Structure 1
Amino acid sequence: MTKFFNTLKRYYNLTFKTLLFLITVVIILFLFPSQGKFRFEFQKGSPWKHQNLIAPFNFAIQKSGKEISAEKDSILNNFKPYFKFDNKIQKTQLDLFHKNFKNNFKNFANKNISKAKTNVLKTEFLTYCDIILNNIYINGVVQFSEILKQTKKGSSIIVVKNNVAEERDISKIFTPKISYNYIKQNIIKKFETNNKSSDKINFLNSLKLYDYVVPNLFYDEETSNKIKQNLINDLSLTKGMVQAGELIVTKGEIINTKKFLILKSLRSEYEKSLGSSTNYHLILLGQIILIFASVLVLFLFLYNFRKEILKHNLKTSFILLLVLLMVFTSSRVIKSDTVSLNIIPFAILPIIISTFYDDRLALFIHTITILLIGFIVPNGFEFVFLQFIVGIVAIFSLSQIHRRGQLFVSSILVVISYCIVYFGMAIIQEGNIREINLYNFAWFAGNGLLLLSAYPLIYLFEKMFGFLSDISLMELSDTNNTLLRQLAEKAPGSFQHSLQVASLAEEAIFKLGGNPLLVRTGALYHDIGKSLNPEYFTENQIAGTNPHDKLSFEKSAEIIIEHVTKGVELAKKNKLPHQIISFIETHHGTTQAKYFYRSFMNKYPDKKIDISKYTYPGPAPFSKETAVLMMADSIEAASRSLKVYTDKTINDLIDTIINSQIDEGQFNNVELTFKDINSLKNIFKNKIKNIYHTRIEYPEENK
């Protein structure tokens, strides 16, 4: 039955992983465009490397982005804004003027004019004022606004009056200020013929005709925007035609701007025709082959070089999820007309992977990802080359994140790399610095800012997938953390022992190859269980007092062993990562509490002993880091009991401890070679000798 379940479990894992990779292939295939891809690669400023190209069908030549942008700007700059004409305002204001004029003129006539001339002058004044006001209102009065300010001098506007649109010169349109000056000048011009005219001028000025001038033209934003958008929509995106059979470019010919636009137009039409043709199924088959091959290469790499990832479904899912996220983001951005592909921080992928794994895996995953994306982006070779260089820079500049500032520096280096590589490629293509698209540099700057999001993403993935980053290890290794402070206060001897073990293990892993920060952090926490019963451990006991003297050997062994089991419970209670808990579980492996085990055997040689009562629960170490910690822990503790520190005693002690652990099978699950074991022995020997070297005895001062 056990064999059946093991077989089922083995095939379940295989089936699940196969499904993961197949689902990845299907999702990427879904994200790929349905149309095919133009088979010729070309760059502006470079020679045509293929055979002479003949147009296979008629197609229109597309305008360049700059041409379309220039035409849009021209439309916007020459656009005539629309204004509504209000007919009622003119009549309302003239009626109000006539009403007020009667009273004002009556007062003026009583003082200055004979009764015979009153009616004549009244008619003259009223007629003249009506002419001025009507002339102003007929031309139109508008409140000065930003719309007029933006309209070019000498241009015109469109006035909609009684549902009829007519064009008017903007110089003929009145504003309140222009109306005021116009009225003043016309009054003076009309009545400055003799000295008696001053009374008439003063009277007309007192009427304040300008107070009756209010805007009757109002900007029609809705109509203006609608007409403006229609003009932009009607803008032709093409210029000229290429006929089927026409020679487009010859082999070796330098691709200038004109040829480049023709080739881009052909590529666009060609890919559209492929997407809607009967060849669609062949295109789909080709995409399946390419995607499947890429994902298969990824699987083979993990199988041959990173089997520990394939063993865990969660770790495998994490790798595939990152690849899918990058492909998905790229496919969405490519379809957008407003966002450039250069804004996507592709370097975030190798940064995140190298944080949890290593640089080699990060570079490989990054390469596979950009190769996949290279199939769907324009100018795939340029894209892959640019992202590959930037990815390497990101990995080398940030192989380990220990401080937040490192990510900021890396972002700056990534932006600089983008700019330099793009500048080099642009010079080759354009042949002129002035033709380089400067907006891309702004996109690269935005890319660098988005790259800073790697920091919170690392934390998010840590929690989601149970990873442990160097940032978290740095935080955990702070001796001011609660558990370490508790150990230092309650079991100072054990705390000092942990510090020494951390130093030994870190040095050994650094030279052997591994994660020094992980083993250091694990070493600091490996004995936290001793803080619960510190007095039962030698390093915390005061000379002459040993509570074990009052206990049986079995009970003493139980208390000693409990520092592992209770340490694990304490770690889980304080939510330490499982990677750190594994150091607590494995630092004694499945060995025995030898002191009490041997003491029992020596005292009761004829008694049968239950060895399980003296054996640590384990498990045995399973990685280089946990194995090195076990060695360092035993060596540091045993070295304190040496009576004489010489090269021979230290060498013999370390050889005996490590050989004993090997004989007991404690490292059977660890990939350690004999060369590694010998290297570790030498590292520990040199380290212990440096710790316990003979000090110089200072001579006493002669009295």
Structure 2
Amino acid sequence: MESSRRKVKLRVKKSIKWFKSWSRIETGRRNIFFQHGARIFLLLALAWLALVLTPGRRTIDPFFDVQAGSVADRDVIAPFDFPVHKSQTELERERREAADRVKPVLEFLPGVRDVAIQEESLFFDLLKKIRSDTLVKKSLVSWNRYLDLTRNQNKKFKIKPVVLQYLYSADSLLTLSDDEIIYLFDPVRSSLLRNRLKDYLVSRLREGIISDAALSRIENEEVLLRRDGEEKVVESSSLNSLSRVIEQSMSEVIDPEYQEVSKSLFVQELRRFIRANIIYNWTETERLRQVAAAAVKPVRDEMVLKDEKILSRGEKVTPEQMERLDNLSAELEKRELVTGEADQIRHGLGIFTVYLLLLLILGIYIYFYQREDYQRFSKLLIIAISFALVLLCSSLILGRPELPGYLIPVAVAAMLIAYLLDDQLAMVATFCLSLMIGVQANFSSYLVLLSLAGGIAAAISVRRIESRRAQYLPILYVAAAYVLVLFAVDFAYRGEDFNTVLRSAGWCTLNATLSTFIAIPLLPLFESVFKITSNFTLLELGDLNRPLLKRLSLEAPGTYHHSLIIGSLAEAAAAGIGANPIYARVASYYHDIGKMRKPEYFIENQSGKPNPHNKLSPKMSSLIIASHVKEGVDLARKARLPECIIDIIREHHGNQPISFFYSKEKEQNPDTTLREGDFCYPGPKPMSKEAAIIMLADAVESASRSLSEPTVSRIKSLIRGLIEAKLRDGQLDYADLTLRDLTRIGDEFFNILIGVHHHRIEYPSSGEKPQDAKGPNSRTKIVSGPDGKDETGGVVLTPREDVD
């Protein structure tokens, strides 16, 4: 027990020591850690959440244990369109049948005929050469004479040795009998034989001859004969084989006088020279058969459509249903929706990196172009939660095949970000979120385009909302954007029937409606949790019948009227430079509520009554004038006004000096050392565009009341001088306003003031010393201080003037 106490004490001491060492770390380093570290962690957490919510990365409930004949324990609905593949046996059988249907390819060789005729000519030319020899001629004379004498005696003629040497030089003659050789060496007979043989060769080879071996392989089949660049289908039985051609030649009558010898020579020489000129192209035939087999589709003509029920719970599984389940399993594996552990880790890291890069793009944009939102962590949380809500809905919708992707409510995030933060930021966020949804949907570019159109339309529609009745305007914008993209993509690529497109358009309209009805109730919740004020809340605060404004109109009517005019000026100027006009107008209504505590000390509320400042010391008057800022903050907090309104109340005077009372105190006590800070507003300087606009509007409106003749040139000169004075004094250092913005603000002020026709007291030029008012009708003389401001910005007053 004692040892455990010691351990606890030791741990406490270590914790205290660590905290002390941490507290000694340079403040800047700690701020950097907390500022950027938390944001980086938020980015990583959101990327991880998106990965978890990606349907394809989760283990899909398999149905591999289902067998044909068993009872299904669940409903199985097709999550996407997929084809039904043929079984391996069926596919092999169809491919074999397709290959068998390919007809054998026969090639006609036209050059064979020329070769055969050439060889036949060479043979008979050789005979002619032999006959031209002198010795052969003498022998032939004796042969012919002897042949004539013994023809009728059936005597065998013997070849003389002088001829034999020529016969050996032509080995093609060695197989012939003596009678056949004698016949060939007869010029007349030989010429007759030559002509008949050539005619027969030419005619048969023209028709085409196929070898007996090739014909036996294609017997009783149709074949594809390629000849002279053309193809035609013929019966194999119509083709002439070598044996058939030779057999038919035996019926030919060559020489009626010497039938046996001439027929024998004709057949022998025909065998020698004739050859097949139609060949069986086995290589081409096999190639065509392989092509035909490969052309057989592995899938059937039927398709299982998305949302089609494959199996019903409690139903007996048929072989056909089992086949569909097998095909679905194969398709899931193909799409990597069912993977091994290593593949899941690899793919998960890749998807996580994609999400991280997209969020990093958004983070970089916010850091460089929306620095105020980056510095307020609560605003980054709004973006993260909006993303998480949409990604969660997307995961649920994509995980249920019966629900279309058109229902993903991207517009919810776009509207929340646009309502609570900024419409431009909402557009950039929509771009990144749409790409993330596309990754969730297996990189669906179509869904990205739809989401992007709907989200941007929602962000744009928020700009036009200036009343509660207009809060449902996004329904029209988002639905129109969805339907426009839907029809455009369908006409360009998808080509679905019109009823299907109309049904999809109905889903899109439902999405737009649901998104709007989801976003609007979430706004008060987000505003309350994150202390963010939306335009809706500002519109409610701008109701002039609200208790605080009603009280202001009764207790300080001059201040109330002054605030209304500033509201008009600030609203126009904010709209001109791209700031929030609703925020500027409503904040103007409340910026001077602190004057209700002592309204009689401010000139616009005196209405001819004695000036109470005449009885006070300058320092006390300065404290009363400056206190309306603190009093206004206290009243605003009691009324639970939003922090953004309180910021305007606190900043609308900056840290300007109340120069009149400072000068008066100096006159009364010339030997006393005065602290200028005792005669200044507490500040801080305006930190937003709207606060700076209200500061300028306050100065311009107050100064314009002093113009006895508010001509165009005098009003322009007054506005320009006051803006330049605030700029020189450094009051606009933190307002993020450009010179172009200041010029535009001045133009908008001029447009409003030129329409005001009330007579105002004229302000002398800047730097003029205060003078006593002269004449019986002149009770006061207001002189602007160096900064050109009225009672709230360093006004110089005579001893008898009323002080605001």
Using structure 1 for the length normalisation, give the TM-score. 0.65
1:286 to 350, 359, 369: 350
Deviation (angstroms), 1:473: 1.2
Q: Are residues 536 and 454 of structure 1, via their aligned partners in 2, closer, same or farther at CA, if it must alter by over 3 Å?
A: same
The one-character-per-residue Cα deviations of 1:443-501 (angstroms, maximum 9, x if unpaired) are: 33432331222211122211121222111111111111111110100111111111111
- Is 1:314 the counterpart of 2:336? The answer is no
One-letter amino acid of the structure 2 residue matched with residue 535 of structure 1? E
Q: Work out the CA distance in 1 between the residues paired with 2:491 and 2:711.
A: 69
Q: Which position in structure 1 is the counterpart of 2:304? A: 64
Q: Are residues 237 and 629 of structure 1, via their aligned partners in 2, closer, same or farther at CA, if it must alter by over 3 Å?
A: farther
Q: Which position in structure 2 is the counterpart of 1:599? A: 664
Q: How does 1:111-130 map to 2 (within 5 A)?
A: none
Q: Is the 8 A contact 1:501 1:633 kept in 2?
A: yes
* More off after superposition, 464-473 vs 402-411: 402-411
- Is 1:384 the counterpart of 2:472? The answer is no
Q: Work out the CA distance in 2 between the residues paired with 1:590 and 1:483.
A: 26
Q: Which position in structure 2 is the counterpart of 1:471? A: 536
Deviation (angstroms), 1:17: 1.2
Q: Which position in structure 2 is the counterpart of 1:297? A: 361
Deviation (angstroms), 1:341: 3.2
Q: Work out the CA distance in 2 between the residues paired with 1:60 and 1:346.
A: 38
Q: Is the 8 A contact 1:554 1:596 kept in 2?
A: yes
The one-character-per-residue Cα deviations of 1:285-323 (angstroms, maximum 9, x if unpaired) are: 211221121111111111221121111111112112211
Q: Work out the CA distance in 2 between the residues paired with 1:66 and 1:652.
A: 71
One-letter amino acid of the structure 1 residue matched with residue 54 of structure 2? F
Q: Work out the CA distance in 1 between the residues paired with 2:745 and 2:369.
A: 24
Deviation (angstroms), 1:582: 1.0
Q: Are residues 595 and 648 of structure 1, via their aligned partners in 2, closer, same or farther at CA, if it must alter by over 3 Å?
A: farther
One-letter amino acid of the structure 2 residue matched with residue 503 of structure 1? S
Question: Across the two proteins, how many residue pairs are aligned to each other?
Answer: 506
Q: Work out the CA distance in 2 between the residues paired with 1:29 and 1:241.
A: 28
Q: Is the 8 A contact 1:347 1:391 kept in 2?
A: yes
Q: How does 1:160-171 map to 2 (within 5 A)?
A: none
1:574 to 636, 639, 647: 639
Q: Work out the CA distance in 1 between the residues paired with 2:756 and 2:501.
A: 63
- Is 1:29 the counterpart of 2:51? The answer is yes
Q: Which position in structure 1 is the counterpart of 2:430? A: 366
Q: Which position in structure 2 is the counterpart of 1:155? A: none
- Is 1:346 the counterpart of 2:414? The answer is no
Deviation (angstroms), 1:281: 2.8
Deviation (angstroms), 1:667: 1.0
SS in 1 for 2:26: helix
Q: Are residues 60 and 557 of structure 1, via their aligned partners in 2, closer, same or farther at CA, if it must alter by over 3 Å?
A: farther
Q: Which position in structure 2 is the counterpart of 1:231? A: 315
SS in 1 for 2:335: helix
Q: Work out the CA distance in 1 between the residues paired with 2:603 and 2:758.
A: 23
Q: Are residues 675 and 269 of structure 1, via their aligned partners in 2, closer, same or farther at CA, if it must alter by over 3 Å?
A: closer
Q: Are residues 600 and 689 of structure 1, via their aligned partners in 2, closer, same or farther at CA, if it must alter by over 3 Å?
A: farther
Q: Are residues 11 and 441 of structure 1, via their aligned partners in 2, closer, same or farther at CA, if it must alter by over 3 Å?
A: same
Q: Are residues 639 and 370 of structure 1, via their aligned partners in 2, closer, same or farther at CA, if it must alter by over 3 Å?
A: same
Q: Work out the CA distance in 2 between the residues paired with 1:67 and 1:25.
A: 30
Q: Are residues 432 and 548 of structure 1, via their aligned partners in 2, closer, same or farther at CA, if it must alter by over 3 Å?
A: closer
The one-character-per-residue Cα deviations of 1:345-400 (angstroms, maximum 9, x if unpaired) are: 22122122222233322121111111111112157111112222222333333324
Q: Is the 8 A contact 1:62 1:239 kept in 2?
A: no
2:654 to 582, 585, 589: 589
The one-character-per-residue Cα deviations of 1:175-212 (angstroms, maximum 9, x if unpaired) are: xxxxxxxxxxxxxxxxxxxxxxxxxxxxxxxxxxxxxx
Specify every segment of 5 or more residues in structure 1 that has no aligned partner in the other structure, as ranges.
Answer: 45-53, 73-227, 243-261, 696-703
- Is 1:613 the counterpart of 2:635? The answer is no
Aligned-residue CA RMSD (Å): 3.5
Q: How does 1:412-451 map to 2 (within 5 A)?
A: 412-426=476-490, 431=495, 433=497, 436=500, 440-451=504-515
Deviation (angstroms), 1:411: 1.2
Q: Is the 8 A contact 2:487 2:501 kept in 1?
A: no
Q: Work out the CA distance in 1 between the residues paired with 2:496 and 2:36.
A: 56
Q: Which position in structure 1 is the counterpart of 2:260? A: none
Q: How does 1:292-691 map to 2 (within 5 A)?
A: 292-377=356-441, 380-426=444-490, 431=495, 433=497, 436=500, 440-451=504-515, 452-647=517-712, 649-691=714-756
SS in 2 for 1:230: coil
Larger Rg: 2
One-letter amino acid of the structure 1 residue matched with residue 694 of structure 2? L
Q: What percent identity do the matched residue pairs reach?
A: 30
One-letter amino acid of the structure 2 residue matched with residue 11 of structure 1? F
Q: Are residues 600 and 373 of structure 1, via their aligned partners in 2, closer, same or farther at CA, if it must alter by over 3 Å?
A: same
Q: Are residues 547 and 694 of structure 1, via their aligned partners in 2, closer, same or farther at CA, if it must alter by over 3 Å?
A: closer
Q: How does 1:189-200 map to 2 (within 5 A)?
A: none
Specify every segment of 5 or more residues in structure 2 that has no aligned partner in the other structure, as ranges.
Answer: 1-22, 60-79, 83-293, 761-804
Q: Work out the CA distance in 2 between the residues paired with 1:538 and 1:560.
A: 11
Q: Is the 8 A contact 2:419 2:535 kept in 1?
A: yes
Q: Is the 8 A contact 1:35 1:276 kept in 2?
A: no
Q: Work out the CA distance in 2 between the residues paired with 1:67 and 1:473.
A: 46
Q: Which position in structure 2 is the counterpart of 1:50? A: none
Q: Which position in structure 2 is the counterpart of 1:16? A: 38
Q: Is the 8 A contact 1:34 1:284 kept in 2?
A: no
SS in 2 for 1:467: coil
